[in-house]
Structure 1
Amino acid sequence: MANQRAHTVTGRLTALVCITVLLATSARLSAALPAETDPAWTLRKEAGAIRVYTINQPDSDFKAFKAEAVMDVPLENLMAVMVNPQSCVEWVHNCSESYAFGDGHFHDRFAYSVNDMPWPVADRDYVLHIRTRGDRTSGEIIMDLNATPNRRDPVEGHVRVDRSDTLYRFVAQGDQTRMVWIQHTDPNGAIPGWLVNTLLVDIPVRSMEQLERVARTERYQDHRLIWNQDGELVGVEGNP
């Protein structure tokens, strides 16, 4: 009987430790980026419908940015772009290479990409863990992209980014889509301050402008979002 009680206590303690670890891990993940509504965001640029804000990040010399806009394209078009592993080169400013790898699926996958940096700065490469979730009732889809640098070997001539966290939030508004893009990246190595400040503003503006153009092209038309019986997004279906 005493042994049974001991096993029960041990089991409960093990479960409690597991729950604590899971909660701590979730807290770290959610704390990686500042809240969208943080009052410390500072408006840096307005370009048409796009607004870009920056904010200081703890333990980093580099600011995070938030870009937001209402795009004149349906959510289905944008998601058709986002699930294409090669689409980074189509819309993300300075993205010169991108592809998926591993045995991932729609909700949980991995991608490798390269950012072409101006000479003499070395190009940066990213190994990203991408997670996607969506809710049919709210019309909201969220993508989290986090650097996982050790999942692929280093590439000669590139500097591997080991700290990068990105959140994309898409909300359907009829035939339009509201997009919020929050990102913090520590690019590693020496980069001139003027270049960092330029990238913080120029990358989201140029990229979101290009994303809207790309999402209107023929290859990203006639797609639809696939939801399960619980109203959770499970995929995007359309042109190959």
Structure 2
Amino acid sequence: MKPFLIFTLILSCFLTQAQDWELKKNKNEIKIYTRKSDTSEIKEYKAVMKVNSSMQKALDVITDGNSVFEWTHNTSASKTLSVISENELIIWIKNDMPWPVQDRDHISRLCIEQNENTIYIDLLPGPSGEMPLDDNCIRITNFKGAWIIKKVDPTTIEVTQRMYGDPNGSIPLWLLNSMLATHPYHSFLNLKDILEN
């Protein structure tokens, strides 16, 4: 099967699974949705916004592992670990958690597919051997997500992120699910500022 056909099928599935999303936050033209997972009590989230920017700029910012921490909420460090090809790379991110919860980190493999009007970035767990374990962090290894960057018109794009992750360890479920609206909202607010300036 041709790669673009696979990309189209994945994108189609992603866009049509919207009937059970619940809007949790709608502010500053950023919408945050959550929904129950089929396999866990942990919910997944979807963040959506339209910005005056270009697809290429959004792609460059989102995939720059060395600066992801600058706009991702409660993230103190990030790094590009390896560039496998122009469409695949490995990045590491450290997330700061509220006391007394232990900080988390994760390694992500980003796989990029694109055409003239859409960019799809698949997020999957990367190889843990790419970054030594930190005794002060718990490594997240069970997650999946995606970014979709769509051209709306010559000066506007729509940016969507969908993510599910099991943080491992003992985090109260109520705390975890409460963060699913605030964390992506602040990240998107920061990202919006970068993309529009």
TM category (shorter chain) comes to 0.7 to 0.9
2:43 aligns with: 63
Q: Deviations over 1:89-120 (max 9, x none)?
A: 11111111111113522211111110011111
Residue correspondences, number: 185
- Decide whether the 8 Å contact of 1:123 with 1:158 is kept in 2: yes
- TM-score, structure 2 length as denominator? 0.86
Q: Deviations over 1:142-196 (max 9, x none)?
A: 1111113533442211000011111100011221110111100111111123321
- Decide whether the 8 Å contact of 1:77 with 1:216 is kept in 2: no
Residues 1:70 and 1:76: Cα distance change in structure 2 (over 3 Å):
same
- TM-score, structure 1 length as denominator? 0.71
Unaligned runs of 5+ in 1: 1-18, 20-25, 218-240
2:24 corresponds, among 44, 55, 62, to: 44
Residues 1:130 and 1:180: Cα distance change in structure 2 (over 3 Å):
same
- Decide whether the 8 Å contact of 2:57 with 2:195 is kept in 1: yes
- Decide whether the 8 Å contact of 1:75 with 1:175 is kept in 2: no
1:119 aligns with: 99
Q: Distance in 1 between matches of 2:143 and 2:127?
A: 10
Which letter maps to 1:37? Answer: T
Which letter maps to 1:159? Answer: I
- Decide whether the 8 Å contact of 2:52 with 2:196 is kept in 1: no
Q: Distance in 2 between matches of 1:191 and 1:171?
A: 35
1:186 aligns with: 166
Residues 1:216 and 1:117: Cα distance change in structure 2 (over 3 Å):
same
The runs of 4+ residues in structure 1 deviating greater than 4 Å are none
Q: How does 1:204-223 map to 2 (within 5 A)?
A: 204-217=184-197
2:53 aligns with: 73
1:147 aligns with 2:125: yes
Which letter maps to 1:214? Answer: I
Unaligned runs of 5+ in 2: none
RMSD: 2.0
1:160 corresponds, among 139, 162, 169, to: 139
Which letter maps to 1:73? Answer: S
- Higher-Rg structure is 1
- Decide whether the 8 Å contact of 1:99 with 1:113 is kept in 2: yes
